Amino acid sequence: MPHFRQIDYNSISPDEALLMRAKLHIRGGKRRLREGKISLGIVTLYDALNSAIQWYVASSEHKRLLRIKDSDNVNDDHTVSDLLVRAGIIDPRFNYNTFDELVDMALKKDMSSYDYSHVLKEIETVMTSLGVMPFDENELPPDRGE
């Protein structure tokens, strides 16, 4: 994975580690897509999205913006995605379940001919809404091309 041995978990908080992981996976996912490793790129972007979602709800400042009910499981990415839509943080046109199904397909078959441009645009929009993007890639560890 794009973050392997690139995050020093002893020198940053768990929240910062989630944000760093999301950024590293965005960068790595995009690179993999450009290299034609479509299935792997989609799975990497999925990890980036889930890390970003976990980072978002880990912050007490962000949590206040969500209308969390006692019955909401904030450890479930589908639930948190729904909370983010309900709070108006991410666009309701982004369908987490549809993206999850695409990732499931990417795990099962070669998708080298898949046109990923729409999905990448959606993920970038969500990442911008969450405050993960834009970011300065120079602040990240060097890309090792994994």
Q: What is the DSSP string of 94-121?
A: S-HHHHHHHHHHHHHS--TT---HHHHH
Backbone angles phi, psi at 119, to 5 degrees: -65, -45
CA distance 125 to 33: 17
Q: pLDDT digit string (tens) for 68-79?
A: 888 889 889 899
C-beta of residue 123 within 8 angstroms of C-beta of residue 3: no
Percentage above 70 pLDDT, the chain = 88
pTM for the predicted model, two decimal places: 0.86
Q: pLDDT digit string (tens) for 89-133?
A: 999 999 999 999 999 999 999 899 999 999 999 999 999 999 999
